[in-house]
Structure 1
Amino acid sequence: MVTTGDFKKGLVIQLDGAPCIIIDVHYQSPSARGASTMVKTKYRNLLTGQVLEKTFRSGDKVEEADFERHKGQFLYADGDRGIFMDLETYEQFEMEEEAFALISPYLLEGTEMTLGLFQGRMVSADPPQSVELTVTETAPVLKNATATAQTKEAVLETGLRIQVPPYLESGEKIKVDTKEGRFLSRA
């Protein structure tokens, strides 16, 4: 059991029988004397993907989920689903299409990542902070292009479309932020 005082971003708790990862925590002190502090949380249900909010009273106890993080690897896409492997046990897991669609634009075969397991079942896969992908399509290089506010659209090898600086050409490798889906730098 964990108390609301232990809540922090990234903690996985169990609510209504499902593992939920805390996305945001805000402690709100009451204005009235004698009232207890309220703990407002924003969390994602790892089984359904829903983002929800819940308010707890200070000192409330919640069960910590039977959740483990393992080093894993993306093996391949099987239709709309992704196949992953635990690098410690070599066990393979399948990720359903809704969750896989969110991370698939950042994955190449062999990409190493963190897998989240709940009661022996994979419920999450966290890609690295940034990945290197090749630009497959983009408009020609613009004359006198500088790195200022101008951008152009580029299609990457995974099908992801992002805005890139105008000086980039097709065939170049770039670093992409997986949290925000934006260009970081040339690789």
Structure 2
Amino acid sequence: MAALIDAIHVKRRTLFEHENTPYCCLDSDISTPTARGGQTLVRLKIRNLLTNAVFEKTFKAGDKFKEPDLEMISASYLYSDADGSHFLDQGSFETLTLNEQMLGNALDFLLGGEIIQLQKYNGNPIGLELPMFVELAVAYTEPGVKGDTSSGSVTKSARLETGLEIAVPLFIKEGEKVKVATETGEFAGRA
């Protein structure tokens, strides 16, 4: 039997199962009552790993959750078509397909052949675990003009090799590799 997790012990990035659905905790807040006999409540901001919906829910401190039957496997991104995005399981060499809802904005950060972590719930693929940062080449950007800082904004728009558009500093040129934060989709430095 899977281990049980008390609601009061759920912290950021904890994975748990509630009502036969896997969730990831994004934030937790514990409310201790001031009156005698009051119950300690745990307010969790959680993401449904099947639908990617994010919401807040309050639980009693003693509520218990099961650990989800989640498995992380290494997979390489192959291609995308009308059926979805296809990945090759590096262990079994089986092709796994994820639909647009399962991927969210992950395709903005993926190149063909790139190896990432794919999540499986009860043996079925449900989504991707992207690294914190990815390195992508700048496909197009306007050249930075000296003295272009009068507006106070010292960034310009750049289109990356995946099609993602981000704001980059003026000194970044076409063909350069940049580091992008996958959580926010923002420039994080030169690669």
Query: TM-score with structure 2 length normalisation?
Result: 0.89
Runs of 5+ consecutive residues of structure 1 not aligned to the other structure: none
Number of residue-to-residue matches in the alignment? 186
User: Is residue 71–residue 119 contact of structure 2 (8 Å, CA) maintained in 1?
Assistant: yes
Aligned-residue offset at 1:19? 1.3
Residue 18 of structure 2: aligned partner:
15
Structure 2 counterpart of 1:52, which letter?
Answer: F
The one-letter amino acid paired with 1:132 is E
Structural RMSD (CA): 1.9
What is the CA distance between 1:84 and its match in structure 2?
1.7
Percent same amino acid among aligned pairs?
37
Counterpart for residue 86 of structure 2:
83
Q: Deviation at 1:29?
A: 1.1
User: Which residue of 178, 183, 186 corresponds with 2:187?
Assistant: 183
* Correspondent of 1:59 among 62, 78, 81: 62
- TM normalised by structure 1 equals 0.90
Match of 1:154 in 2: 158
Contact 1:76 1:83 in 2 (8 A): yes
Distance in 1, Cα, partners of 2:111 & 2:89:
16
| Mapped partners of 1:34, 1:51: distance in 2 | 32
- 1: distance between equivalents of 2:83 and 2:188? 28
Match of 1:142 in 2: 145
Gaps of 5+ in 2: none
Shift of 1:80: 6.9
Deviation at 1:176, TM superposition (A): 0.9
Following superposition, the deviation at residue 99 of structure 1 comes to 3.0
Question: What CA distance in whole angstroms lies between the structure 1 residues aligned with 2:17 and 2:100?
Answer: 24
Question: What is the rounded CA distance, in whole Å, between the counterparts of 1:122 and 1:99 in structure 2?
Answer: 9
Q: Distance in 1 between matches of 2:143 and 2:79?
A: 32
- Asked if residue 70 in structure 1 is aligned to residue 73 in structure 2, the reply is yes
2:50–2:102 CA contact under 8 A, matched in 1: no
- 2:37 corresponds, among 22, 34, 37, to 34
Distance 1:72 1:15 in 2: 27
Whether the aligned pair in 2 keeps the contact of 1:128 and 1:178 (CA below 8 Å) is: yes
Cα separation, partners in 2 of 1:86 and 1:155, compared to 1, 3 Å: same
Higher mean displacement: 114-123 or 62-71: 62-71
